Chains A and B, each alone.
Chain A
Amino acid sequence: MKAGGRSPAREGVSEVAANGAREGHAAAWGTTTVVGAAVPRVDGWERVTGTAVYPLDLQLPGMLYAAVLRCPHAHARVQRIDTSRAEGMPGVRAVLTGASPGADVPWFPQRGKGPLSKLFDPHCRYAGEEVAAVAATTVFQAREALAAIAVEYEVLPFVAEMEQALLPGAPSIHEGGNRQNETLRYQRGDVAKGFSEADAVVELSFQTACEIHTPMEVHGSVARWEGDTLTVWDTTQGVFAVRDALASALGLPLANVRVICPYMGGGFGSKLGLNKHTVIAALLARATARPVKLFLSREETFLCVGNRPPTRLTIKAGAKKDGTLVALEMKALGTGGAYPYLPTSGYLVADLYTCPNVAVEQDNVFINAGPGRPFRAPGYPPCSWALEQTIDALAEKLGMDPVELRLKNVPVVSQQRGGVPYTSTGLADCLRRGAEAFSWQAARGRARGKGHLRRGVGVAAGMWGYDGEPRATAFVSLFADGSAILNTGASDIGTGTKTVLAQVVAEELGIAPESVRIEHADTGTTQYAPASGGSQTVVANAPAVRAAAQEVRRELLEMAAAELGRPQTELRLAGGAVVTPEGTVHPFGSLKALVARQPLVGVGRRHPHPEGKAALPFVAQFAEVEVNTRTGEVRVLRMLGAQDSGRVMNQLTFENQVFGGIVMGVGFALTEARVVDRQTGTVVNANWHDYKIPTMKDCPPELTCLPVDPQDRECNTVGAKGLGEPATIPTAAAIANAVYHAVGIRVTTTPASPVQMAALLERHRQEG
Chain B
Amino acid sequence: MMPNFEYVRPTTVAEVLTRLAAGGARLHAGGSDLLGCLREGILVPSSVVSLSGVAELRGIGELAGGELRIGATTTLTEIASHPLVRQRYPGLAQAALLVASPQLRNQGTLGGNLCQKPRCWYYRGSFQCARKGGDTCYAYAGENQYHCLFGGETCYYVHPSDLAPALVALEATAHILGRGGRRVVPLEQFFLLPGQDFQHETVLEHDEILAEVVLPAPRPGAAGVYRKVRERGCWDFALVGVAVWLARSAGVVEQVRIVLTGVAATPWRARAAERLLLGRKLDAALAARAGVAASEGAHPLAHNAYKVPMLRGLVEEALRSLA
What is A's interface to B at a CB cutoff of 8 Å? 72, 140, 143-144, 452, 628-633, 670-671, 675-680, 682, 684-686, 689-690, 692, 694-698, 753-756, 758-759, 761-762, 765
Please indicate the chain A residues that have their CB under 8 angstroms from the CB of B254 in the complex: none
B232 x A144 contact (CB < 8 A): no
B239 within 8 A of A: yes
Decide yes or no: A690 and B309 within 8 Å by CB, A671-B231, A695-B235 being known contacts. no
Is the interface on chain B under 10, 10 to 19, 20 to 34, or 35 or more residues?
20 to 34
With A631-B229, A631-B317, A754-B306 known, 12 other A-B pairs at CB within 8 A are A72-B126, A143-B1, A630-B312, A630-B314, A632-B229, A675-B121, A676-B143, A680-B138, A698-B232, A753-B231, A754-B231, A762-B306
A696 x B233 contact (CB < 8 A): yes
A698 x B310 contact (CB < 8 A): no
Per the bound structure, the CA–CA distance linking A671 and B236 in Å amounts to: 11
A692 x B306 contact (CB < 8 A): no
A758 x B232 contact (CB < 8 A): no
B142 x A677 contact (CB < 8 A): yes
CB B294 to nearest CB in A, in angstroms, measures 13
B127 within 8 A of A: yes
B313 x A631 contact (CB < 8 A): yes
B232 x A692 contact (CB < 8 A): yes
| Chain B 200-247 interface residues, beta-carbon cutoff 8 Å to A | 229-236, 239
B141 within 8 A of A: yes
Residue of B nearest to A683 (CB): B125
A631 x B310 contact (CB < 8 A): yes
Please indicate the chain B residues that have their CB under 8 angstroms from the CB of A676 in the complex: 143
CB B20 to nearest CB in A, in angstroms, measures 28
A754 x B229 contact (CB < 8 A): yes
CB B124 to nearest CB in A, in angstroms, measures 8
Residue of A nearest to B307 (CB): A758
A697 x B232 contact (CB < 8 A): yes
Please indicate the chain A residues that have their CB under 8 angstroms from the CB of B309 in the complex: 632, 758-759, 761-762, 765
Please indicate the chain A residues that have their CB under 8 angstroms from the CB of B229 in the complex: 631-633, 754, 758
A631 x B306 contact (CB < 8 A): no
CB B54 to nearest CB in A, in angstroms, measures 29
A452 x B313 contact (CB < 8 A): yes
CB pairs A–B below 8 angstroms (21 shown): A630-B316, A631-B314, A631-B317, A632-B310, A675-B143, A676-B143, A677-B122, A677-B138, A678-B143, A679-B138, A682-B125, A684-B122, A684-B143, A695-B232, A695-B235, A696-B234, A753-B231, A758-B310, A759-B309, A762-B308, A765-B309
B interface secondary structure, majority: loop
Convert B126-155 into 0s and 1s, putting 1 for each residue whose CB lies closer than 8 angstroms to a CB of A.
Answer: 110000000000100111010000000000
CB A759 to nearest CB in B, in angstroms, measures 4
Please indicate the chain A residues that have their CB under 8 angstroms from the CB of B307 in the complex: 758
Residue of A nearest to B308 (CB): A762
| Chain B 266-312 interface residues, beta-carbon cutoff 8 Å to A | 305-310, 312
What is B's interface to A at a CB cutoff of 8 Å? 1-2, 101, 121-122, 125-127, 138, 141-143, 145, 229-236, 239, 305-310, 312-314, 316-317
Please indicate the chain A residues that have their CB under 8 angstroms from the CB of B313 in the complex: 452, 628-632, 758
* Neighbour of A689 across the interface among B2, B138, B235, CB < 8 A: B235
* Neighbour of A695 across the interface among B127, B234, B305, B308, CB < 8 A: B234
Identify which of B141, B235, B313 gathers the most chain A CB atoms within 10 Å of its CB. Answer: B313
CB A74 to nearest CB in B, in angstroms, measures 13
Identify which of A631, A696, A765 gathers the most chain B CB atoms within 10 Å of its CB. Answer: A631
CB A671 to nearest CB in B, in angstroms, measures 5
Please indicate the chain A residues that have their CB under 8 angstroms from the CB of B305 in the complex: 759
Decide yes or no: A754 and B142 within 8 Å by CB, A144-B1, A633-B229 being known contacts. no
A684 x B232 contact (CB < 8 A): no
A632 x B306 contact (CB < 8 A): yes
A754 x B127 contact (CB < 8 A): no
Per the bound structure, the CA–CA distance linking A753 and B239 in Å amounts to: 11
B121 x A690 contact (CB < 8 A): yes
B239 x A671 contact (CB < 8 A): no
CB A674 to nearest CB in B, in angstroms, measures 11
Residue of A nearest to B236 (CB): A692
Per the bound structure, the CA–CA distance linking A698 and B235 in Å amounts to: 11
Per the bound structure, the CA–CA distance linking A686 and B122 in Å amounts to: 12
Per the bound structure, the CA–CA distance linking A522 and B234 in Å amounts to: 40
Residue of B nearest to A297 (CB): B1
Please indicate the chain B residues that have their CB under 8 angstroms from the CB of A696 in the complex: 233-234
B231 x A684 contact (CB < 8 A): no
Per the bound structure, the CA–CA distance linking A631 and B239 in Å amounts to: 10
Decide yes or no: A755 and B231 within 8 Å by CB, A143-B1, A677-B143, A685-B121 being known contacts. yes
Please indicate the chain A residues that have their CB under 8 angstroms from the CB of B236 in the complex: 692
Per the bound structure, the CA–CA distance linking A78 and B101 in Å amounts to: 42
Decide yes or no: A630 and B1 within 8 Å by CB, A677-B143, A680-B127, A755-B145 being known contacts. no
Please indicate the chain A residues that have their CB under 8 angstroms from the CB of B121 in the complex: 675, 684-685, 690
Per the bound structure, the CA–CA distance linking A762 and B292 in Å amounts to: 13
Please indicate the chain B residues that have their CB under 8 angstroms from the CB of A144 in the complex: 1
Please indicate the chain A residues that have their CB under 8 angstroms from the CB of B230 in the complex: 754
Per the bound structure, the CA–CA distance linking A754 and B127 in Å amounts to: 27
Decide yes or no: A697 and B126 within 8 Å by CB, A630-B317, A679-B141 being known contacts. no
A698 x B143 contact (CB < 8 A): no
Identify which of A144, A675, A684 gathers the most chain B CB atoms within 10 Å of its CB. Answer: A684
Per the bound structure, the CA–CA distance linking A695 and B313 in Å amounts to: 25
Per the bound structure, the CA–CA distance linking A739 and B231 in Å amounts to: 16
Please indicate the chain B residues that have their CB under 8 angstroms from the CB of A692 in the complex: 231-232, 236
* Neighbour of B233 across the interface among A690, A695, A759, CB < 8 A: A695
Residue of B nearest to A760 (CB): B306
Please indicate the chain B residues that have their CB under 8 angstroms from the CB of A629 in the complex: 313
Per the bound structure, the CA–CA distance linking A633 and B126 in Å amounts to: 31
